[in-house]
Amino acid sequence: MVDRLAAAISATTFIASPVTAEIVTAWIDDGTADQVMEWKRGEVRNRQKLARKLFKNFDYRAHPASPHGWLTLPEPWCVRDFVCQARMRGVVISPAEDFVAARSTNAHAVRLCLGPVRQASRLVRALETLVEILESPPEPCHAMV
């Protein structure tokens, strides 16, 4: 069954569906695609400005046009505890090690994705939550056995 399922998936994913291709073609022709991309670019720039403002006292790095940023954690925070504290408060972030290709690299940072949140107010609250966590002493999330 695995081979048959793999073949079926391959047959349906090598090209865009004709309906999708038709819609995208129309959007390109009538300028909708350009409008959407310009809006997205502006939104990303605004979100990066917001993140830079809120993390002004921390080591936050990102390209102004990127929907992602890197936040280096200050002492005494460890990545695992920071990610755990954020998750316990409803903010999901990724440790930098998830994006490192070499095993010898130990980046003491987290990757922030500014794009998925639809409402700016929710993004502001999430980023403010991260600042609150950074300004507090670390609380270990894992019990010792």
- Counting every residue, how long is the chain? 145
Q: Is the omega angle on the peptide bond into residue 76 within 30 degrees of 0, that is, cis?
A: yes
In a domain, 110, yes or no: yes
Which is more confidently placed, 69 or 2? 69
C-alpha torsion sign, points 120, 124, 125, 129: positive
Tell me 112's DSSP state.
Answer: E
How many domains does one find in the chain? 1
SS3 110: strand
C-alpha torsion sign, points 71, 74, 79, 82: negative
In a domain, 112, yes or no: yes
Q: CA nearest 134: which of 61, 54, 67?
A: 54
- CATH code assigned at 69: 3.90.1150.10
In a domain, 116, yes or no: yes
**Assessment of whether the complete model's pTM goes beyond 0.85:** no
In a domain, 141, yes or no: no
Residue 44: both structure tokens together: 């990303």
| pLDDT tier at 62, thresholds 50, 70, 90 | very high
**Which residues constitute the domain of residue 74?**
16-134
| pLDDT tier at 142, thresholds 50, 70, 90 | low
Tell me 47's DSSP state.
Answer: H
